[in-house]
Amino acid sequence: MKVSVLAQNLSGSEIIKIAGEINELKKQGQNIANLTIGDFDSNIYPIPTELKDGIIDAYNHNQTNYPPADGMLNLRESVSAFLKNRMGLEYGANQILISGGSRPLIYSTYLALVDPGDKVVFPTPSWNNNHYCDLTGAEAVLVETRPENNFMPTADEIAPHLKGATMLALCSPLNPTGTMFGKKDLEEICDLVIAENQSRGADEKPLYLLYDQIYSQLTFGEYKHYDPVTLRPELKDYTIFIDGGSKCFAATGVRVGWGFGPTEIVSNMKAIVGHMGAWSPKAEQVAMAEYLVNETYVNTYLNKLKSDIQTSLSTLHEGFQNLKADGFSVDSIEPMGAIYLTIKIDYTGKATPDGHVLKNSADVNFYLIKEAKVAFVPFSAFGTGEEVTWFRASVGASTLEDIQQMIPRIREALSKLK
């Protein structure tokens, strides 16, 4: 059967492959601690009560017809106020686009700005930029990052790749690492973008910056979220933000995302999202509009969610640091934001008790699934090579007790490798 070149060349999701293995073991009655999915178990982390009540009320009042293509005006106004109050970002309702989560916003940014063959620069590991390049025919330029910099890209690493590029795609806090830009590091990258655009002629396409800050409200301790436009206001004409309520309100299935940026670009994104039919459900928009402007509700929920997520991440981090102290070839990076912990499990080349050699990070992961009943995601799923022995651990679908109990199982499983 003949299909399109795009369909033939589009690569599948490694996370889905891992999920298939987990589901097969669950069918056999095994209980697997699943730290693969960037989601929340809604029984552990329910959405805010006030938001849920608002959604139900909106459905009871028959708010079930098509919403406007760019989102309900009152929601865009609420988002505008939310951005100003919490981040000091000034964007009017006409510069904000609502969609069914953040994915349509990222895709529509690519479609609005990137032509086939255009260069898109992004770090590895990062989430899904390689697939969006495939979908748009862009030339993907992968910037390898280092654990010494918490897997966040630096200006020195990015600089050689910006000449002639159409877009630089960044994310902070970063999926998959849960690490963040420091102020100085992001300022240096912003200055590169400014300098590159100053070097281009009036008839040349500028270098745009896609800035995914969907986890910006989930930061821990002394770590602070920074954004390009606050640090360098002159980037406002070239920066498209990706944001929404999916992560900060544990509302991934509610599907209310918001993007914002230059009016002309957002208008083009609106047309694209409209043709995709990728708008957020109207009842959810109505409820989110009312919820966002109640600072008491928002602060109360975020404080509790952040505390619980940080406790789980810190517990997992401490567990891996204890394993490291006991001589195991593992490591982890202190949690900074999002729902992820970056962990190292350096056991490639080792043999299992039955003599099977673990050739790469995927082998190590599937061994842990079977022997320790715990599943992570290798960084190879986010654009690195399979030889990289770092993994993403997501705590949103696990209880604190689950996390405490998995460390001894990991210890035992790793002890069996030779």
Residue 335 contacts residue 179 (beta carbons within 8 Å): no
Residue 252 contacts residue 39 (beta carbons within 8 Å): yes
Question: What mean pLDDT do residues 227-232 have?
Answer: 98
Q: What's the pLDDT tens digit per position in 297-342?
A: 999 999 999 999 999 999 999 999 999 999 999 999 999 999 999 9
Residue 19 contacts residue 36 (beta carbons within 8 Å): yes
Per-residue confidence at 196, pLDDT binned at 50, 70, 90?
Answer: very high
Per-residue confidence at 27, pLDDT binned at 50, 70, 90?
Answer: confident
Q: What's the pLDDT tens digit per position in 392-409?
A: 999 999 999 999 999 999
Predicted pLDDT of residue 24: 84
Q: What's the pLDDT tens digit per position in 233-280?
A: 999 999 999 999 999 999 999 999 999 999 999 999 999 999 999 999
Predicted pLDDT of residue 174: 98
Chain centroid to CA 131: how far?
14
Q: Return d(Cα 161, Cα 159) in angstroms, integer.
A: 5
Q: Which residues contact 1 (CB under 8 A, 6 or more apart)?
A: none
Question: Is the pLDDT at 216 greater than 80, yes or no?
Answer: yes
Predicted pLDDT of residue 247: 98
CA end-to-end span of the chain:
46
Question: What mean pLDDT do residues 101-111 have?
Answer: 98
Per-residue confidence at 215, pLDDT binned at 50, 70, 90?
Answer: very high
Angle between helical axes of 129-136 and 103-113 (0-180°, round to 10): 40
Q: Return d(Cα 406, Cα 418) in angstroms, integer.
A: 21
Predicted pLDDT of residue 379: 97
**Paired sense of beta strands 377-378 and 390-394, if any:** antiparallel
**Helical (H) or strand (E) element with 166:** none
Predicted pLDDT of residue 8: 82
Q: Return d(Cα 54, Cα 40) in angstroms, integer.
A: 20
Average pLDDT of the chain?
96
* % of residues, the chain, pLDDT over 70: 100
Predicted pLDDT of residue 23: 80
Alpha helical stretches, state H, 14-120: 14-27, 49-60, 73-87, 103-113
Question: What mean pLDDT do residues 92-121 have?
Answer: 98
Question: What mean pLDDT do residues 8-32 have?
Answer: 80
Q: What's the pLDDT tens digit per position in 282-295?
A: 999 999 999 999 99
Residue 409 contacts residue 374 (beta carbons within 8 Å): yes
How many residues in the chain? 418
Predicted pLDDT of residue 230: 98
DSSP state of 48: P
Question: Is the pLDDT at 20 greater than 90, yes or no?
Answer: no
Q: What's the pLDDT tens digit per position in 364-394?
A: 999 999 999 999 999 999 999 989 999 999 9
Residue matched to tokens 């390009």:
228
Q: What's the pLDDT tens digit per position in 67-86?
A: 999 999 999 999 999 999 99
Q: What's the pLDDT tens digit per position in 140-180?
A: 999 999 999 999 999 999 999 999 999 999 999 999 999 99
